[in-house]
Amino acid sequence: MINFKHYQSPLSAKYASEEMSYLFSPYYKYTTWRKLWVALARAQKACGLSISDAQIESLLQHVNDVDIPKAEEAEKIVKHDVMAHIHVYADQCPEAKGIIHLGATSCYVTDNGDLLQIREALNLIRNKTIQVIRQLHAFAAQYADLPCLSYTHFQAAQPTTVGKRACLWLQDFLIDLFEIEHTIQHIHFLGVKGATGTQASFLSLFQGNHEKVKQLEQLIAKQMGFSRLIPISGQTYTRKQDIRIAAVLSSLASSAHKFATDIRLLSHLKEIEEPFAEKQIGSSAMPHKRNPVRSERICGLCRFLLSLNENALYTEATQWLERTLDDSANRRIYIPEIFLTADAILNLLCSVTTGLTVYPKMIEKHLNEEIPFLATEHILMEASRLGKDRQEIHERLRVHSQESSKQIKEGGLPNDLLCRIADDPIIGFTSQQIEELTRAEHFIGRSTEQVHEFLSEEVIPVLDRYKEVKSMSPLIET
């Protein structure tokens, strides 16, 4: 039952998914520790230590029977969380009491356990990133050839298409996916390194047999699904590994922030909006408001995630010699939070990208307001091609543009530049010719072709590779 008199993190209570919250729950953490103790006992038995099948079976039977309240009571006495859980586990399977944690130090379960949580969390992040890519792929394909103004410095610039702009977002998320894949594939398991990374306790257990110690570590890594081991460590795995993990999630956050910011800008322009529920309230004071709350929340969560990246850097920088404990409390907070935040961001991205609403008439309106200015170069080139004096035409277009711009800014009047150009006998184009020269399709370059090429050559092969990843129902809650 929820205790409403205690603080709850909004990440687990409101924003992150149940799947991600479970991966960083006490239950998942402590059952993972027990699985590591089982793996250690199995590997030690395989390497020749006197451990019976009955002892291992007893450990297995109680892997999921974690008595967290009892462990918390024990920790109050022994002041050591790992030892508290060893005592509770030993009480549940007394026949295996003497072999639990044999030769190991606390980081055998804490660091290796963290890596198991991180790997599963990264898999979930990867799958949700694929979902975002799927949905943006469909959106980009649908609007591949819909012309729209592009913006540089948030000032009107040469037109593009809605689909081409979506491909800018898609490309960033594809890069993030590749980085996530690489990170998952290159997580290095700590293995069994002992108190200072020398494996001295295990060498003693195997009476100086170095090959047995190496075999032990490889067997445990294989049981836990890792193909790579940290070759050199102190008591902990190098925190450089945390930096790499935090960096890939921060990179994802930067992509999400850029996407959400663009949606917020486009929402202001009334060109594209995020999903808005039928009875959703945009503002308690202003009933007309349709605030882009999901996109705003994405940006807020992204800023928090980006700040956590710095924590990983400091943690690595302040490790003393073979280890220091000041990383422990710190990592207990920021590692779960960086994943819960990334998960929350992706939940919102899945929601927003599945229900983007495009308003073609508003897009056309903005195009028509700016194309007269953007078309002056095209008109100048066509006039020059027909043999007119380039410098004279340029001057006429400049004067008309300045006058029309002044009328718009000072008088709030419509853009009449094309009428001015059509009425200028020196330029010498009819209204019909001007209309043909200013069609939006003339100004989008290869935007449409780029969209189709990008989707077919870059995006679809990735989606095909991950076609077994199930689609998720996007969360539409505010």
Q: Rounded to an integer, what distance in angstroms lies between the CA atom of residue 439 and that of residue 368?
A: 9
The verdict on whether 153 is a catalytic residue reads yes
The phi, psi pair for 126, rounded to 5°, reads -60, -45
Catalytic hit among 52, 204, 227, 283: 283
Q: Coil, strand or helix: which one is 361?
A: helix
Produce one character per residue of 459-476: b if its CB has 16 or more CB atoms within 10 Å, e if not: beebeeebeebeebebbe
Are 368 and 398 contacting, i.e. CB atoms less than 8 angstroms apart? no
In a 10 Å sphere around its CB, with 0-12 CB exposed, 13-18 middle and 19+ buried, how is residue 232 labelled? exposed
Q: Which of 153, 284, 288, 473 is catalytic?
A: 153
| 8-state DSSP, 240 | H
Task: For residue 236, give the nearest of 140, 73, 112 by alpha carbon.
Answer: 112
Distance between CA atoms of residues 395 and 406, nearest Å: 17
Token pair in block for residue 258: 């850029």
Task: Tell me how far the alpha carbon of residue 205 is from its chain's centroid.
Answer: 44
- Note if 283 is an active site residue: yes
DSSP state at residue 237: -
CB 247 within 8 A of CB 183: no
201-222 burial, b at 16+ Cβ within 10 Å, e below that, comes to: bbbebbeeeeebbbbbbbbbbe
Sign of CA dihedral 68, 73, 74, 78: positive
Residue 80, Cα to own-chain centre: how many angstroms? 35
Q: Which residues are the active-site residues? A: 153, 283
